[in-house]
Amino acid sequence: MLSGKNILIGISGGIAAYKICELIRMFKRENANVRVICTPNALNFVTKLTLQNLSRNEVGIEEFEIPDFKPEHISYADEADIMIIAPATANTIGKIANGICDNLLTSVVSAFKKTVLIAPAMNCNMWQNEIIQENIQKLRKYGYEIIEPETGFLACGYQGVGRLCGLEKIFDRAVDILNAEKKLAGKKIVITAGGTIEDIDPVRYISNYSSGKMGIALADTAFNQGADVVLISTVDVERGYRVVKVKSALDMQKAVEAEFVNSDCVIMAAAVADYRPKNISARKMKKTSDDSISIELVKNPDILQKICAEKTVQTIVGFCAESENLIENAKEKIQKKGCDFLVANDISRKDIGFSSDYNEVTIFDKNGNMLKIDRSDKYKIAERIFEVIYGQRADNTNNRELCAAESR
């Protein structure tokens, strides 16, 4: 499965370091070439000799062991197809997030230009620390992929979120990335993400809880599959594809229309405000003695409906977030808007949707067929959405799945 692939595994100093021995074996069984870098503290939990025997390569530890006059942090970064850091301690995460390069592992990460998977593991209180979470969000913003820790009994005696995720999850995600076919090469795909912001005055605004994670997952997936991606986003994103930063619904409309004409596919994953204040105050509105105030709202343009009316050859995918009657509302919306596909998700659930890394969606096509995709991380959901849009499944079951799901 992984013949000819070069995998770089970074191990930092956490108790879960011993588990990575089995992860190395999993990759070796698939004929991958595995190299390992350890922080010095990682050797308190697993030996260098063990890692060398399993990987069949020298293990990097010291930053200035320079064979063949080639700086190690550059040679490791150049040779690998993917980098996995597991377990990633709070200390190592903080260093990477802030550009600190004080050991071989952190130096390699700073020079690595391909996908980096980070699998944190730590005490539950450390994981919930606001500084740690800020570092995690910072890494996500810059394109690092985080495989979140799981809930369970921790080595410190606590019960909570912090234990290293299952090795199969790390392995499967790495395989998906390494074997990603350029299925979307030659296609220009425009994706919107995040919740729009509608100003009331210089201080206040109307918005929603959208984090933009689903749209970003779609953009990352399309880019990995070879598409020319334009992400129109209300949240800050730095990626290898083009990102157009917008704020309001009118800003988003202008950006979408500028990219729409020569696009192959437009996916409207953003949560666009239905209304905006009619008048925006140039100064902060002061509190008065009145117990209530009124702000007159006017309807924002329906971007999805407008581009559906103007499309020629484009495939258009809409999103809808529902808190009740999901199927009925989604069927009504796809007919009203005229899009080719509609992705509906239930925002009343706390384990999916807004701000979560997970989602559960039902995809509708313009013929009224539907396909439910059970709860999964948003990157898996994104892959399935593209499979449905472009019929990418090797067994060509997508259309049959949609029809069969409707008949059930």
The H-or-E segment that residue 29 falls in is: helix 20-29
Report the C-alpha gap between 165 and 330 in whole angstroms.
35
DSSP state of 96: H
Residues in the chain: 408
Q: Are 165 and 149 in contact (CB under 8 A)?
A: yes
Q: How many CB atoms lie under 10 A from the CB of residue 70?
A: 10
Q: Catalytic annotation on 308?
A: no
Positive/negative CA dihedral, 36, 39, 42, 44: positive
The residues, any chain, with a CB within 8 Å of residue 392's CB and separated by 6 or more, are 183, 386, 398
Report the C-alpha gap between 197 and 361 in whole angstroms.
25
Burial of 392 (0-12, 13-18, 19+ CB in 10 A): middle
Report the C-alpha gap between 196 and 232 in whole angstroms.
11
The H-or-E segment that residue 341 falls in is: strand 341-346
- CA-to-CA separations, 6 to 73, 81, 84, in angstroms, rounded: 15, 5, 11
Selecting among 21, 101, 124, 156, the annotated active-site residue is 156
- Show which residues are catalytic: 156
